[in-house]
């Protein structure tokens, strides 16, 4: 099995704060991490490799510093890594991103399975995975919470839905986007970390990918951000003070008055 795992380097959104005055993101001191959902994709890829043999290739599109995320993926056990990086890729929306990743995957070569996290925590769009699959003309299943079986060119999976789950079967090669219920990611190994230090990582730009310059980056993006602003908030708020017994008494009184409780 050759499994390609697409990852994204993202700022740790738990650390991102907004400057109340300028309404801009404070990025100073915010760590870059591998998108947490992608860690489940990587883990699932490694588990499939452990079971069936083969190799796991990780692929990302990003600035040169995204290489550190690929090295991190290697420390977890990925065999090879490819960085799609070019100044022309900057500012890409999901449309241009999935085009570029699809070109990167074509460059990597034949594969059996592509795994992606269900979405990236910085954009939360969940559009790149399906976009890649469509461009490669392969079937995909989103929100996969379990891989039941792989064999005979077929994969059988469970898809998490709002009100339960669906069981589906699809032909290989295919693309899956996974949810966190699918597994519990491992920790990196010492040997993996040592290997990650020295492993060669291929870097491909527009030229190497033979990509259409009109379809990558900001130039190739169908959508455009025209405004950024802080989320609306603030309502009238009333503090309820006193000892816990008093606090609770007051609160229940107020809620009863509002007919919210009996």
Among candidate residues 93, 170, 175, 162, the one with its CA nearest the CA of residue 130: 175
If binding means CB under 8 A, how many residues of this protein chain bind other proteins?
A: 103
- Using the rule CB under 8 A, which residue among 13, 32, 68, 199 binds other proteins? 13
**What span, in angstroms and rounded, lies between the C-alpha atoms of 195 and 175?**
28
- Using the rule CB under 8 A, which residue among 54, 150, 188, 202 binds other proteins? 188
Q: What is the DSSP letter of 30?
A: P
Q: Which residues of 122-139 are buried (b: 16+ CB within 10 A; e: fewer)?
A: eeeebbbbbbbbebbebb
- Using the rule CB under 8 A, which residue among 62, 83, 131, 211 binds other proteins? 131
Beta bridge partners of 144: 159, 178
Site string for other proteins, 60-99 (x = CB under 8 A): ---------------------------x--xx-xxx--x-
- Using the rule CB under 8 A, which residue among 29, 53, 151, 164 binds other proteins? 164
Query: 87 or 207, CB closer to other proteins?
Result: 87
**What span, in angstroms and rounded, lies between the C-alpha atoms of 161 and 124?**
17
Please give the residues from 26 up to 55 whose contact with other proteins meets the rule CB under 8 A: 27
What's the min distance (Å) between Cβ of 199 and other proteins?
Answer: 15
What's the min distance (Å) between Cβ of 208 and other proteins?
Answer: 18
**What span, in angstroms and rounded, lies between the C-alpha atoms of 56 and 108?**
11
The reply on whether position 204 binds other proteins by CB under 8 A is no
């Amino acid at each position: 099995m050759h499994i390609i795992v697409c990852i994204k380097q993202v700022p740790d959104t738990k650390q991102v704060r907004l400057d109340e005055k300028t309404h801009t993101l404070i990025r100073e001191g915010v760590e870059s991490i591998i998108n947490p959902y992608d860690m489940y994709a990587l883990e699932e890829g490694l588990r499939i490799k452990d079971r069936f043999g083969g190799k796991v290739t990780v692929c990302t599109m990003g600035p040169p510093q995204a290489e550190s995320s690929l090295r991190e993926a290697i420390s977890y056990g990925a065999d090879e890594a490819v960085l799609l990086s070019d100044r022309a890729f900057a500012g890409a929306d999901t449309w241009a991103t999935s085009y570029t990743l699809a070109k990167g995957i074509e460059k990597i070569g034949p594969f059996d399975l592509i795994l992606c996290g269900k979405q990236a925590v910085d954009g939360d769009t969940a559009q790149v995975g399906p976009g890649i699959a469509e461009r490669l003309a392969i079937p995909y299943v989103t929100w996969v919470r379990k891989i039941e079986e792989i064999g005979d060119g077929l994969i059988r999976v469970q898809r998490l839905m709002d009100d339960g789950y669906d069981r589906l079967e699809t032909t290989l090669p295919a693309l899956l986007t996974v949810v966190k219920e699918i597994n519990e990611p491992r920790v990196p190994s010492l040997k993996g970390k040592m290997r990650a230090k020295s492993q060669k990582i291929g870097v491909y730009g527009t030229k190497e990918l033979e990509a259409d310059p009109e379809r990558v980056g900001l130039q190739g993006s169908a959508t455009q951000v025209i405004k950024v602003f802080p989320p609306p908030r603030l309502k009238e708020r009333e503090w309820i003070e006193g000892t816990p017994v008093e606090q609770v008494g007051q609160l229940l009184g107020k809620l009863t008055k509002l007919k919210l409780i009996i």
